[in-house]
Amino acid sequence: MVTYIASRDALDDANQLIDRFGADAALEAAVRAEGARDRGNVLRFCHWRQIERVIVTLASDEIVGTIH
């Protein structure tokens, strides 16, 4: 699975959560996504779900995609 990163801001948000929450960063992103969904904010929900996937990808030791 290749993770799409929409913007530099998305990567910055992922790194900030990793710095602040460590191993629980993906969980924090999921909590933020749920909160946005509960408030009916679809854009922020999608943003935080993407951040969750980015964090999982960054934390993985597995090589994903083409190696050049």
pTM: 0.83
pLDDT number for residue 30? 97
pLDDT number for residue 34? 98
* Tens digits of residue pLDDT in 23-42: 999 999 999 999 999 999 99
Mapping DSSP onto H, E and C, the string for 9-62 reads HHHHHHHHHHHHHHHHHHHHHHHHHHHHHHCCCHHHHHHHHHHHHHHHHHHCCC
Q: Is the pLDDT of residue 68 over 80?
A: no
